Amino acid sequence: MMHLLLITAALSLGFQATDPTVTVARVYAAFNAHDAGGFVEQVSEDIRWLTVTRDGVKVETTGREALSKYLARYFETTPGVSSRIQSSFFVGSHVAVHERVTWQSPRGERSQSAMAVYEVVNGRITRVWYYDAVAP
């Protein structure tokens, strides 16, 4: 009963019924399964993937189809890649994630740490700001 009251109170205050972290978790599960189709099921048609560097912001892909093609190529060229969420939090429709990405290279296992911010609207990711990765 208390759970129902909390949901009702949250909805009356304008909170989304769907926790945006659930959508982001689905994206990470699809990424780790190398499932480009499952990944893009969680994004809007007009998704924009942006890379944030020290000097500015670059648009990597625009649109669900472009992102799907990008991911398919990435999974082909980086077999064994996986990502683990180190920590995350959300504020409104934005989910901030600290992740550790691991993959195999000719020199052995490699990893890097990165941060991303996902904007989730109506249960779909509409924007991603992916920040420059750093070595562990």
pLDDT for residue 25: 96
Q: Where are the alpha helices (DSSP H) in 13-82?
A: 20-32, 36-40, 64-77
pLDDT for residue 4: 35
pLDDT for residue 136: 64
Distance CA 117, CA 130 (A): 7
Task: Report the Cα 23 to chain-centroid distance in Å.
Answer: 8
- This prediction's pTM: 0.84
For residue 69, give Cα distances in angstroms to 21, 46, 50, 61.
24, 14, 16, 10
pLDDT for residue 14: 47
For every one of its 136 residues, what pLDDT tens digit does the chain have, with 9 covering 90 and above? 333 333 334 444 444 457 999 999 999 999 999 999 999 999 999 999 999 999 999 999 999 999 999 999 999 999 899 999 999 999 999 999 999 999 998 899 999 999 999 999 999 999 999 998 876 6
Domains of the chain: 16-131 (3.10.450.50)
For residue 121, give Cα distances in angstroms to 15, 27, 115, 129.
12, 14, 20, 15
pLDDT for residue 134: 79
Helix, strand, or coil here: 32?
Answer: helix
Distance CA 96, CA 6 (A): 24
Residue 36 tokens, joined? 């480009």
